[in-house]
Amino acid sequence: MRGELTFNAKVNRNVMTFQEFIEVIKEEALGKYQSAEDISIAGRFMGQRGPFAQLQDAVGRVQLYIGKDELGETPENKERHKKLVKLLDIGDYIAVKGKLFATGTGEISIHVHELKFLSKSLRPLPIVKRDKDGNIYDSFTDPELRYRQRYVDLTVNPEVKEIFIKRSRIVTVMRRFFDAQGWLEVETPVLQPIHGGAAARPFATHHNTLDMKLYMRIANELYLKRLIVGGFDGVYEIGKMFRNEGMDRTHNPEFTSMEIYVAYKDYNWMMSMVEQLLETIAKEVNGTTKVQIGENSIDFAGPYERISMYDSIKKYTGIDVSQMDEVALRKVCKEMHIKVDDYMGKGKLIDEIFGEKVEDHLIQPTYITDYPIEMTPLAKKHRSEEGLVERFELFVNGKEIANAYSELNDPIDQRQRFEDQLKLAERGDDEAMALDEDFLRALEYGMPPTSGLGIGIDRLTMMLTNNPSIQEVLFFPQMKPEVA
RNA sequence: GAUUCCGUAGCUCAGCUGGUAGAGCAAUACACUUUUAAUGUAUGGGCCCUGGGUUCGAAUCCCAGCGGGAUCACCA
């Protein structure tokens, strides 16, 4: 008996998946009461009511009919099966054989005549029940348990599994979209000697053999641009970034970003590309461009509104900050009761006003364009507006999900911008960007005009699945250690 | 990091102004072989997060710690 209960290696599971089973119902079994041939199926035993049991696999559930005296053929085999059925626990993996039939209420089920244990569950799974109206009766909801034991969460909460399937599809659709354009998916270093490309505190580590300090990347931008210098027309990378910052419902120390750089393009082109990309993703993942996020119904169908940062501030505050110097901006912040620090330069002050007064209004997808030069050291100067750069951020539901530039490809200007960052750092801005000599050298060899874009995959998934918490879209969100 | 709420059975939760632990589901046994969250009867199940304190007596009140959620700050 014991042998039957433990972790069988021989499985005939490839005979039929649940999905195939459902197709068989449609094509063959419907209208019949009993299939001619046995089918073989395997899955997780998820409960029993009388002779009716639920078997679950990755796709869904099917009903089994386990008749008391109908298992096995020989008397010994019948006896054995009776014992096996008694030993069934929720969570056990079993394989069954039987014929399809329609029950009295019309549900297509498997009339089991043979049952085999594949694996035993030694711990009781939480039992979640739901009725036809979707009411859930015995839920498994404790966030701490759900995140620490995601395997249980995924087993008993099908809507959780659905989120992660969507997340995977978002990435797949994105990849397919880029690949169709001939852009190249690449991988760049996670361990970097200089943490460039963004403004954030890094995780630091040490390489023993080289005896050198290394940082987990906070961004991969400077490496991807090196590849554009190297002659690729379009490169993109989907991968983890690491930032040693605070954690909350929208921040996890490691998160996934997609960065893409396309040569001979500018940020106007990029805006159109992003519209097509997001529209495609929304349709492929949700079947529609519209998505409900909390209270708001959002439509990802392009084109999106485009408004410059200065105009957006004017629109929502009535104040024109475009000609103001640092002193005037500080005065404005004070009048609006916006907290500012001494180290903040002009760009940062404008960003504070924007964050405080504008962001929350940007519900439908909206491009904010043309940022002050001080806060964007890697973007190209605006072709006609003094003091601005060609940059946009895409806001949806009041939150930023994409950031893009016409990339700065003038090495002399780039060196100057890095030096301005160093000055900010000296004033106490610990987010100011470090200078990367090799990156400058690459630019000195010549980089074509290029547009670059970054999209937060976690954030995008949160929006497309209507989840306000990043933990709900990460399989294993960062947690403090569990104490035994 | 700050504020605030929370931590009781495998899960979801009651447990009042302090008097020594409860329900539903799950589990076990027996009966039932049926349906669509939940059949019946019976039974077992607890470091009430941890450590101090107050008290004759603490799941309950106080303090500290640990873990989680929410809000804020920082960031994406």
Question: Lowest-pLDDT range, A165-174, A198-207, A272-281?
Answer: A198-207
How high is the pLDDT of residue A23? 59
**Mean pLDDT of all residues in chain A?**
87
Confidence of residue A413 (pLDDT cuts 50, 70, 90): very high
Summarize pLDDT for A324-379 with one digit per residue, the tens: 888 888 888 888 888 777 777 788 888 888 988 899 899 999 999 999 988 889 99
For the CA of A36 and the C1' of B28, the distance in angstroms is 39
Q: Can you list the pairs that A167-172 forms with residues at least 24 positions away whose Cβ atoms lie under 8 Å?
A: A167/A457, A167/A461, A167/A465, A167/A473, A169/A284, A169/A285, A170/A281, A170/A285, A170/A457, A170/A460, A170/A461, A170/A464, A171/A238, A171/A258, A171/A457
How high is the pLDDT of residue A196? 83
Distances in whole angstroms, Cα of residue A430 to Cα of each of A200, A422, A467: 8, 10, 32
Nearest nucleotide to A242 by CA–C1' distance? B76
How high is the pLDDT of residue A25? 56
Summarize pLDDT for A48-85 with one digit per residue, the tens: 888 899 999 888 888 899 887 777 777 778 888 888 88
Summarize pLDDT for A116-130 with one digit per residue, the tens: 889 988 888 998 888
How high is the pLDDT of residue A84? 84
For the CA of A61 and the C1' of B76, the distance in angstroms is 38
How high is the pLDDT of residue A260? 98
How high is the pLDDT of residue A333? 86
How high is the pLDDT of residue A408? 96
- Find and give the residue nearest to B75, measured CA to C1': A245
For the CA of A122 and the C1' of B45, the distance in angstroms is 17
- Find and give the residue nearest to B24, measured CA to C1': A138
For the CA of A208 and the C1' of B30, the distance in angstroms is 67
The model's pTM = 0.90
